[in-house]
Copies of this chain bind each other. A is one copy, B any other.
Amino acid sequence: MYEGIVQDLIDELGRLPGIGPKSAQRIAFHIVQTESFDVSRLAEILTEVRDKVRFCEICGNVAEQSTCAICRDPRRDPAVICVVEEAKDVVAIERTREFRGRYHVLGGAISPIDGIGPEELRIRQLMERLADGVVQEVIIATDPNLEGEATATYLSRMLTTIGIRITRLASGLPVGGDLEYADEVTLGRAFEGRRVVS
């Protein structure tokens, strides 16, 4: 529909999640027409992001060094690990200021339909972190949906064998929702009201 490069930009933007053809078009025209929009800065950041961003060797969170800022922080309680699906869930929980322990990012949830079994998640790495006996509690904070619940059930069964305290975020989180979209208060309450699973 457009000449060359503008259509290329629309196509490329359309590959991003949550951006349909109309949005892609609107964004492309904004970039083309708005003099003040710093195209080169966005281009630079995009290039840099792939080079710089790594995943924490300990917890799997997004990091710019071999470990993330939370795992390096000596003030964070090493005795409590909060297990989440994605790195963005870490940010959501950090925003509540309710949690002072460490994290473990699974990299997703068990979902047979998508071909994601326990082996595809960072569960082995979690078990390794629990081996030295420092960790006293594992808080399972997977999403309150089908996949998240399945993952929580799987994890709690595995962890019971080790004999540490296992808790699950309280419901209070809207069922069927996405942890990422929970507001701070709801998420904070969910932490407060967490229950012993076994």
Residues of A within 8 A of B (CB): 1-6, 8-9, 12-13, 15-19, 22-23, 25-33, 37-50, 52-53, 62-64, 68-69, 86-88, 91, 94-95, 180-181
Contact = CB atoms under 8 A, between A and B. Distances in A.
Contacts of A41: 12
Contacts of A37: 15
Chain A binding surface SS class: helix
Number of copies: 2
A22 B17 CA distance: 12
Contacts of A31: 16, 46, 49-50
A20 to B, nearest CB: 10
Contacts of A44: 43
Given A5-B45, A6-B62, 8 more contacts: A2-B91, A9-B49, A17-B27, A25-B91, A26-B180, A29-B62, A40-B46, A43-B44
B40 A50 contact: yes
B52 A43 contact: no
Contact of A45 (B12, B25, B38, B68): B12
Contact of A40 (B16, B47, B62, B68): B47
